[in-house]
Chain A
Amino acid sequence: MKKLSIHPFRNAVPVIGMLISVLFASCKNEATLPVDFTEIPEKAEIFPDYQGITIPANIAPLNFMVKDSSATEYVVHFQCKNPSSGQSAGELLTAGGKDGKIMIDSLQWRQLLTACIGQQIITNVYAHRPTGWVKYQSHNLYVAREPIDTYLSYRLIEPGYELYRQLGLYQRNLTNWDVHTIYENNRTYEEKNNHCINCHNYKNYSTENMLFHVRANHGGTIMIQNGKAQKVQIKDSTIITAGVYPSWHPTQDLVAFSTNKTGQTFHLYHPEKIEVMDEASDLLLYNPGKNEVSHILRTRNNMETFPNWSPDGKTLYYCNCELDKVLDLEATPDSMIAREIALRYNLTRYSLMKIDFDPQTQSFGEPQMVVDAPARNKSITLPRVSPDGRYVLYTEGDYGQFHIWHKSSDLWVKDLQADTCYALKQANSRDVDSYHSWSSNGRWIVFSSRRDDGNYTRPYIAYFDKKGKARKAFMLPHEDPEYSLLLLRSYNVPELTTDAVSIPAKDLRDCIYGSEGEKAKYVKK
């Protein structure tokens, strides 16, 4: 009998090779469509919920997680059929491991979506349970004909606090996973440099003209035009604070701002955690070219806020709260107004208003009521006019103006042509649905929703069809579908643009740190 010789190194090589191949095999799941399976009556429980949604053909792969505690591997089959021939127009097969993460190949996804524009993709999810393969009920994806604007910019910020340290503005390419940092404040805390950034805003869905605010140290409004950043101070003794909520005029070099005296307080025993209230607000018109600011509306009885221009630039929509309906203004000293409003926070309601604007003379008409929400014990905020000028998309809740913390808040539209208002039921959820913006083609809306856990806002995208109805919304896809569950920050102020922000973060930093900012000249009109 031949003696078995064991050479440690020589024997180690195949063993190592085998281990590596086992490792690779366990990492990469080969997708093979199960032949032998049992069809079960349930739909797969997936996160994010991408079932029955309408998607743009240029969206990044909708990676998701399947929740099935007993399954050890998964196969997902996407297929769309040519409606006329019944033949397969495109299909994609992908697999997932025990963690249930379905990571779709970007190239194959792009091919699938391109092949399936205007059609539905049938999605079948298979799970391998100890008893064998099961097939869930299939679900569909509808691929819209209209693409979504490529870039989504947002602020990442922890939800529900007063102090701040590190936050930033970012821009995501919706067609892939690229994230670009527009501007970030300091990673480590520096007392003298600590500042907040907010209210990033663009003119006509393009980053050529954009702005954002810096608060606290190095504060000011950063105006970016023609690739150059400039800090300005939109302040005056007659202006309540500074420019706050902005809206670029679509044709002229003008920006409408609200100026708000805002306070935040924390609930003691309430599911909404935080209430943000204004005690005063007015509307401003700022001319960046001349660095001049004037009041559009300045009243004590009314709190005007959230300005938004119509696409023709002839109408400014805004929200208004009649303060004297909330409290007895005559009997309340100015120093007590904030406290009195806090005590009546759930009676503070805003209506949708508009005011005509003559671009030639740069003069405004008289305020007109558009939607009297307080008459229905509701409150309207954040009007955004659609690019075709037909719809005003807004958030409606039971009270207040900071609906991002109000569970009652939903997206609504006012059809200016038909003079009707209705909720976007398909897109809304039982939790907060608020801050929203349009895509430049008017077919997509992106908004902030707390529907997943009631606390963290995530961007949701919904198709807005030609009849003015929104379809079921879907969460911004991430490469790792678990990403948003692990992220301890909220997506704030999602804004769609057609192009990328080109100004480097360093230039913005230099601008913010470099000067105090030029003070805008106040012009009385």
Chain B
Amino acid sequence: MSKNPHYKSTAKKPPVQKAVRTNEKKPRKPLILPILPLFFLMVWAWATVYYGDVFRIARENSFWVASTEQMKFILDQSYGMLWYVGRLALQLFRYPIIGGMCFAGLLALCSWLLGYSMRLTPRWRWIQYIPALLYVGYISKEGLNIFFEVETGRILGIPLLALGILLIWAVIIKSFSKKEVPAIVRIPKDETPMQNRLQLCVCILGLAGCITFTQQCRPYVPVITKMMVGQINQDWEGIQKTARANADLSYRAIAAYYAMALVQTDQVGDRVYDIRMDYDTLHIVGWDNTYNNGNSLYIPEGNYYAGLVETCYHYTFEKMVMNGPSSHGLEMLVKCALMRNEWALAEKYIRILRQVPFEGDFCDKYGAMIRNPKLVNADPEMANIRQLEPLHDSFENLYQQPTFMGYNLRLFEARSINAWKNSLAVCLYTKLMPDFLQRLQPLAGSIPPENFADGILLMTNKYPELNKMFNGLDFRATRMSGFMQEIQPFMKDRPGFAKELFPKYKGYYPYYYFFGNLKATKKPEPQKQTSNSGVN
């Protein structure tokens, strides 16, 4: 509690004294809370615990180095210096707890200065929190668009600009007024409990409103970004846990990161259908408010974890061309270059990354792999990818898009059984059963993974000989026949019943075969326009 000798209360007699007169018992001291510090703590918690991964991914999609030459692409723009500083501050979200503190601190300071500059009386003091809460609301409304094909320097650049303006305003006010600047951390003595509680309510309701909005309208935002952070940290179990905990959320990015985690943990034949796959539309727009389906959220990574390192490099670079360099993009390029033994190229990207704050560990780890293929192949992630790499060259445009699907649909020779399993999994996912059957031979005589076994059983009516090719199908056949009977009433309106039936048949491939991903089969998603593509 601060004791300011110059402080003069503008409030009338506090009601607490009235209570003393009417109550003979020892009066209960009314609880007056320091709202500003509480506001700071609440925003900090929101920005760290709830939205921390979103900000972290924003940081990974951003790029900042001290060199103004390298940041010329930002500095030459309108407000370039502001975005430059905003990007620097965003770097703190490498550790969301620190970044969140910065974000909350900025908003709290803005609120504090606004209250002072507007000379808000205790009755109206709640107003000082409104702009900050509106900004949190704006961030929530934007969802993935706080980092997707936008200037990431805005996230903290705008509060920084507001803080600068408010500081100037406050200095002017201070110069012409005798009003004291209130301490930041203090129990406000001039507020009535009601006024105090009103401020608290505004803060709590404002933040709760933002969280509710996200949960209701952008529920995928924290989930997708959590999975993206999982991919960066190679936390495959965590990704799966997140996906399964949000199995009802059906978005391509979630399915893609989930599939990557399954590929990395060799479960692609068993657990793919634990999540719903009907694919709702993301609220996302591209540069200049153009239509965007958000595919670039996962396409580079999807290709990488499917063993298509060159294709990953291509799409990572496309993203960098359109959005400018990013920490995560450069990291992916380093990995691709190492996988392809392009040592000088990897060295180049690491040299750039070394200048980015908090990238030292990454640079040390992957820098050691340069000109050391043994170390590359000893890395668990890279070793897994290595065995999925193509055996032969061909061109991307000969396959359906995305390449990691199209390539696997046409795989006829594989480097490993895992590559083969990926191909089978993609055939099942796309419901191309003839292609699936064509590729079963390498698994003959074994107990196939669950999804594959169910896929085989779906085809045994047509091809009874399949039963003899594999072991362990019999006990699944009973469930299959039961399932086929149970779904008959729902077959007339499969899209209509899909969501209703999902909890019952979660993880069961025949459910997906009949009820899953129906929208996509009916109406293909429009592809990103390529009118601005060229030869380079």
Contact = CB atoms under 8 A, between A and B. Distances in A.
A-B complex is real: yes
Interface string B385-409: 0000111111111100001000100
A475 interface: no
Nearest to A273: B310
Given A162-B534, A262-B535, A486 B352 contact: yes
B67 to A, nearest CB: 7
B536 A267 contact: no
Interface in A267-293: 267-271, 273, 275-276
A165 B321 contact: yes
B310 A216 contact: no
A189 B393 contact: no
A455 B344 CA distance: 9
Interface string B518-536: 0000000000001111111
A264 B395 CA distance: 10
B1 interface: no
A161 B314 contact: yes
Interface residues of B, number: 49
A166 B321 CA distance: 8
B69 A480 contact: yes
A267 B317 contact: no
Given A158-B317, A268-B393, A486 B67 contact: yes
A270 B310 CA distance: 8
B533 A266 contact: no
A216 B532 contact: yes
Interface stretch (B70-78, B97-105, B242-250, B262-270): B70-78
Contacts of A198: 534
Nearest to A244: B535
B237 interface: no
B297 to A, nearest CB: 16
A30 to B, nearest CB: 26
B534 A164 contact: yes
Given A157-B536, A266-B310, A267-B310, A164 B344 contact: no
Residue among B317, B345, B393 having the largest count of chain A Cβ atoms under 10 Å: B317
A147 interface: no
Interface in A422-469: 452-456
A187 B313 contact: no
A157 B322 CA distance: 12
Interface string B58-83: 00000000010110010011000000
B288 interface: yes
A161 B536 CA distance: 7
A28 to B, nearest CB: 20
Contacts of A267: 310, 393-396
Contacts of A483: 69
Nearest to B355: A486
Contacts of A480: 69
Interface in B265-324: 287-288, 290, 308, 310-311, 313-314, 317-318, 320-322
A464 to B, nearest CB: 27
A191 interface: yes
Interface string A378-401: 000000000000000000000000
A52 interface: no
Contacts of B119: none
A271 B351 contact: no
Contact of A188 (B77, B318, B345, B536): B77
A215 interface: yes
Contacts of A485: 348, 351
Interface in A184-214: 187-192, 194-196, 198
A160 interface: yes
A455 B390 contact: no
Interface string A231-262: 00000000000000000000000000000001
A492 B317 CA distance: 17
B535 A276 contact: yes
A273 B311 CA distance: 9
Contacts of A454: 342, 344-345
A191 B536 contact: no
A163 B76 contact: no
A311 interface: no
B73 A166 contact: yes
B357 interface: no
A342 B395 contact: yes
Nearest to A455: B345
A265 interface: yes
Given A157-B536, A158-B536, A454-B345, A268 B321 contact: no
B325 interface: yes
A164 B342 CA distance: 24
B340 interface: yes
Residue among B310, B311, B530 having the largest count of chain A Cβ atoms under 10 Å: B310
Contacts of B69: 480, 483
B320 A488 contact: yes
Interface residues of A, number: 50
A159 interface: yes
B334 to A, nearest CB: 12
Contact of B532 (A160, A163, A188, A342): A163
A25 B313 CA distance: 44
Contacts of B530: 162-163
A190 B322 CA distance: 11
Given A269-B310, A269-B390, A453 B342 contact: yes
B352 A160 contact: no
B164 to A, nearest CB: 23
Given A270-B393, A488-B352, A196 B534 contact: yes
Contact of B288 (A157, A191, A269, A275): A191
Contacts of A453: 342, 344-345, 347-348
A473 B14 CA distance: 85
Given A157-B536, A266-B310, A268-B311, A162 B393 contact: no
B369 to A, nearest CB: 16
A160 B322 contact: no
Contacts of A166: 73
Interface in B485-536: 530-536
A78 B534 CA distance: 46
Contacts of B76: 187
B310 A163 contact: no
A269 B393 contact: yes
Contact of B395 (A158, A215, A266, A452): A266
A163 B395 contact: no
A289 B286 CA distance: 43
A419 to B, nearest CB: 34
A163 B533 contact: yes
Interface string B154-195: 000000000000000000000000000000000000000000
Nearest to B323: A165
Given A189-B322, A266-B311, A160 B536 contact: yes
A162 B318 contact: yes
Residue among A217, A266, A271 having the largest count of chain B Cβ atoms under 10 Å: A266
B388 to A, nearest CB: 11
A271 B310 CA distance: 9
B345 A266 contact: no
A480 B344 CA distance: 19
Contact of B318 (A161, A192, A264, A342): A161
Nearest to B340: A271
A277 B348 CA distance: 29
A216 B70 CA distance: 28
A460 to B, nearest CB: 16
Nearest to B314: A266
Given A189-B322, A268-B310, A453-B348, A160 B317 contact: yes
Residue among B77, B403, B535 having the largest count of chain A Cβ atoms under 10 Å: B535
Given A191-B290, A194-B532, A342-B398, 8 more contacts: A160-B317, A164-B536, A188-B77, A215-B534, A264-B534, A267-B393, A268-B396, A486-B351
15 contacts: A160-B314, A161-B317, A163-B532, A164-B532, A164-B536, A189-B288, A191-B288, A265-B397, A267-B393, A268-B395, A269-B390, A453-B344, A488-B320, A488-B325, A492-B536
